[in-house]
Amino acid sequence: MSRRIFISGPVSGLDYDQACAAFFKAEAAIRERGDTPVTPVRICSAEWPWKKCMRTCLKALADCDGIYMLQGWRKSRGAKLEHFNALKLGMTIETEK
Q: Give the pLDDT confidence of 52-86 residue by residue, as tens digits.
A: 999 999 999 999 999 999 999 999 999 999 999 99
Question: How distant, in Å, are the alpha carbons of 32, 50, 54 from that of 14?
Answer: 27, 14, 17
Contact by Cβ (8 Å): 58, 81: yes
- Give the Cα separation of 39 and 26 in Å (integer): 9
Give the list of residues 6+ apart from residue 45 with CB closer than 8 angstroms, or none: none
High-pLDDT (> 90) share of the chain, %: 93
List the domain boundaries for the chain.
Answer: 4-95
CATH of 4-95, one of 3.40.50.300, 3.40.50.10400, 1.10.760.10, 3.40.50.9100: 3.40.50.10400
Question: Residue 58: phi, psi to the nearest 5?
Answer: -65, -35
pTM for this structure? 0.95
Answer yes or no: is pLDDT of 94 > 90.
yes
- Give the Cα separation of 22 and 90 in Å (integer): 25
Q: Where are the beta strands (DSSP E) in 23-77?
A: 36-38, 66-69
